[in-house]
């Protein structure tokens, strides 16, 4: 999809799905600070004829908590518009009668309150950050290796993300660690899982080609969306600014829509 396809392509759109971290704000300690122009961009989208949803792999906090922070930062956003991996994982676990051993951030634990966690028969990992200690990873490993049929769920598969103090390892790195330790393949819940994108499409009652995904991650946002038939565009904020200098994205260059534009610049003037 070349630049000349705009704005014809934009006119055919019926919805936009936005990633959060790196698109609306930069991750970091302390208060959530909006990326300049992003609050206004969300307002413009909301006042247009387009449907709007938010699709994140955020797993350090419950959905109501991080949505509240975004509201404080000035965003017009509600919990029902936000799709994140933890509620999706709870649904899958309940359907399959699984009892998880959780290796997730303390802030995410309440999402799993409704599940039985005694005598675990699977492991769920999220972006646990400092809780990814040697001891905790070993505990998760021992649960898996002790199961006849080990089942590992990973809430996303990101390599790293950008915090205010630099790049930071994401859950996918620890997913790969446990996959190797136990010789298994994790089930990914969240972007870029097609099932996850489909749940957003179902909620809006739209076909993939009618929807544009905007994110800062070529693999999980842009690639994942395009794999489902959606359009995908990468912003130049968040981890984008590092991407040109690293060799992590080479397999995904095919997915790059050129030129990628910041959210608050054309072609985002819907």
Q: Report the interface residues with a second copy, using CB under 8 A.
A: 128-135, 137-138, 141-142, 145, 150, 159-160, 166-169, 172-174, 176-184, 242, 246-251
Q: How far is the CB of 172 from a second copy (least distance, A)?
A: 6
Residues in the chain: 270
Nearer to a second copy (CB atom), residue 51 or residue 59: 59
Q: How far is the CB of 128 from a second copy (least distance, A)?
A: 8
Q: How far is the CB of 159 from a second copy (least distance, A)?
A: 5
Residue among 67, 73, 165 at smallest CA distance from 107: 67
Q: How far is the CB of 106 from a second copy (least distance, A)?
A: 14
Nearer to a second copy (CB atom), residue 100 or residue 172: 172
Nearer to a second copy (CB atom), residue 85 or residue 158: 158
Nearer to a second copy (CB atom), residue 73 or residue 181: 181
Residue among 142, 169, 148, 267 at smallest CA distance from 212: 267
Nearer to a second copy (CB atom), residue 54 or residue 238: 238
Q: How far is the CB of 251 from a second copy (least distance, A)?
A: 8
Nearer to a second copy (CB atom), residue 29 or residue 95: 29
Q: How far is the CB of 245 from a second copy (least distance, A)?
A: 8
């Amino acid at each position: 999809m070349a630049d000349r396809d705009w704005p014809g392509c934009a006119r055919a759109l019926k919805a936009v799905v936005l990633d959060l971290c790196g698109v609306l704000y930069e991750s970091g300690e302390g208060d959530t600070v909006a990326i300049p122009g992003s609050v206004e961009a969300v307002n413009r989208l909301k006042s247009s004829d387009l449907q709007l949803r938010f699709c994140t792999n955020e797993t350090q906090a419950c959905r109501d908590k991080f949505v509240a922070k975004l509201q404080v930062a000035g965003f017009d956003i509600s919990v029902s518009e936000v799709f994140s991996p933890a509620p999706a994982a709870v649904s899958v676990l309940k359907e399959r009668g699984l009892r998880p051993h959780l290796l997730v951030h303390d802030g995410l634990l309440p999402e799993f309150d409704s599940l039985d966690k005694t005598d675990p028969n699977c492991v769920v990992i999220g972006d646990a950050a400092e809780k990814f200690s040697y001891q905790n990873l070993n505990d998760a490993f021992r649960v898996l290796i002790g199961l006849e049929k080990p089942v590992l769920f990973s809430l996303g598969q990101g390599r790293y993300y950008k915090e205010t103090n630099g790049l930071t390892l994401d859950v996918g790195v620890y997913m790969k660690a446990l996959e190797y330790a136990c010789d298994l393949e994790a089930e990914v819940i969240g972007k870029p899982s097609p099932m996850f994108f489909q749940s957003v499409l179902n909620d809006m009652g739209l076909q993939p080609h009618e929807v544009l995904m905007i994110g800062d991650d070529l693999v999980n946002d842009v690639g994942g969306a395009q794999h489902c038939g959606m359009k995908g565009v990468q912003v130049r904020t968040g981890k984008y600014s590092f991407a040109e200098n690293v060799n992590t994205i080479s397999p995904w260059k095919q997915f790059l829509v050129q030129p990628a534009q910041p959210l608050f610049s054309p072609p985002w003037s819907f």
